[in-house]
Structure 1
Amino acid sequence: MIPIAITADHIRETLDAYLEAYPDDKPSLAPVLELLDAEADLTTRKEFRGHATAGAILADPAGRVLHIRHRALERWLLPGGHLEPDDARLLDAAQRELTEETGIPASAVVPAGMLPVHIDVHPIPANDAKGEPAHRHFDFRYLFRTAAEVGELQLEEVTAAAWRDADDIADGVLRHRVKGALR
């Protein structure tokens, strides 16, 4: 059976459910809502006004969070990336990215819920090598749990992985929500 690709309706439904849980985030998500209202295709990385990405926050039984060292950006980040045509849901995209980048099999990872724990809008610099102008990512971030260890890293994108205290999550809102969920 071929999975149905993520649709604008799925993004809208996910965003609406998220805003029911976190209504104070609505002003920061205005760019996402505006593009959805304009019927922009947020599933394609060719939409340079902004497009959806999926991120994973992976916690171990001790409450540590897995960080990866991103090769191109030379920074410690949380796993995640662009949507693919085979992704049926944003949650699936986050789990796929997590598995691709860390080598941890999907069967060893359990989503903490169906709702993103955070949605972030952030700028991405131009990338002349890829022919991409500066644009925005709308990152739908999901929390997962595992007892597994890191597997084979996706060396094209990731140079290292490390379990760190949840206090090391750079984004304050995300850090607060993850720490609350892990209590």
Structure 2
Amino acid sequence: MSVSNNAVVSTALGYVEANPSELDTVRDLVILSLLGPPITLRGTLPAHLACRAVVLTSDQHVLTIRDGERPGWQFPGGHVEDEDCSLLGSTLRQLRELTGIDPNVLRPESALPCDLEAVPVDTVPGLDEPEHVHYDFRYLLHLPSQELGFDVAVDVRWVPVDELPGRLGAKLRRSSRTPAALR
């Protein structure tokens, strides 16, 4: 059972309700989802979505990976597969495949993503994908420590939240300074 466009729209609208200043980021995604083919399929162009895990430890470090297919460090995740029943479920599956982290030791912050970003993707030699846009649904997952599973398939590094750039870094720094009882 794959994730439907209606489920994507519902999640995107829930995200905008929690983050009204980010409506412009989500508007085109909602329109494409309502009018186009399945937005979760990697072949859907000019854009489709990806799910990524923002794994945060109690000592305020975030997991990043380098997988060899794409340049640079990024959050673990990727394309939604047909067997995925939800966007959060897709995120957890991919995280386990890449890092070996057991989903049962994670505590999701919410069923909604903590961040949603339109990311331009250049043509990647060897992946047979033209230039397109990924709508990255980023889910915040709490992990007690920096210990990973045994089946790590990628290079990993832990980045202090204070060094994480951009809007997501600012969100995480704000939430890390909010007492847990008030979140």
CA distance in structure 2 between the partners assigned to 1:60 and 1:93 by the alignment: 21
Structural RMSD (CA) = 1.4
Q: Please, which of 19, 29, 32 is the counterpart of residue 32 of structure 1? A: 29
Q: Which amino acid aligns with 1:129?
A: G
C-alpha deviations, 1:131-167, integer Å up to 9, x for none?
211111011000001124112212xxx2x11222013
CA distance in structure 2 between the partners assigned to 1:178 and 1:40 by the alignment: 33
Deviation at 1:56, TM superposition (A): 0.6
CA distance in structure 2 between the partners assigned to 1:10 and 1:28 by the alignment: 18
Aligned residue for 2:45, secondary structure, equals coil
CA distance in structure 1 between the partners assigned to 2:64 and 2:124 by the alignment: 23
Q: Which amino acid aligns with 1:50?
A: A
Partner of 1:182: 176
Work out whether 1:14 is the aligned partner of 2:11: yes
Q: 5+ unaligned residues in a row in structure 2: which ranges?
A: 178-183
- TM-score calculated relative to the size of structure 2: 0.89
Work out whether 1:153 is the aligned partner of 2:152: yes
Work out whether 1:162 is the aligned partner of 2:161: no
Deviation at 1:30, TM superposition (A): 2.5
Deviation at 1:46, TM superposition (A): 0.6
Aligned residue for 1:129, secondary structure, equals coil
- TM-score calculated relative to the size of structure 1: 0.89
Work out whether 1:98 is the aligned partner of 2:95: yes
Q: Please, which of 74, 88, 106 is the counterpart of residue 85 of structure 2? A: 88
Aligned residue for 1:75, secondary structure, equals coil
Aligned residue for 2:14, secondary structure, equals helix
Cα distance change on mapping 1:120 and 1:87 into 2, 3 Å: same
Deviation at 1:96, TM superposition (A): 1.2
Deviation at 1:78, TM superposition (A): 1.1
Cα distance change on mapping 1:130 and 1:70 into 2, 3 Å: closer
Partner of 2:2: 5
- Is the 1:59–1:143 contact (alpha carbons within 8 Å) kept by the matching residues of 2? yes
Aligned residue for 2:159, secondary structure, equals strand
Partner of 2:51: 54
Q: Which amino acid aligns with 1:166?
A: V
Q: 5+ unaligned residues in a row in structure 1: which ranges?
A: none
Deviation at 1:128, TM superposition (A): 4.1
Aligned residue for 1:91, secondary structure, equals helix
- Is the 2:29–2:135 contact (alpha carbons within 8 Å) kept by the matching residues of 1? yes
CA distance in structure 2 between the partners assigned to 1:12 and 1:147 by the alignment: 32
Partner of 2:114: 117
CA distance in structure 1 between the partners assigned to 2:118 and 2:157 by the alignment: 25
Partner of 1:42: 39
Aligned residues: 175
Q: Which amino acid aligns with 1:14?
A: T
Q: Which amino acid aligns with 1:57?
A: V
Moved over 3 A (4+): none
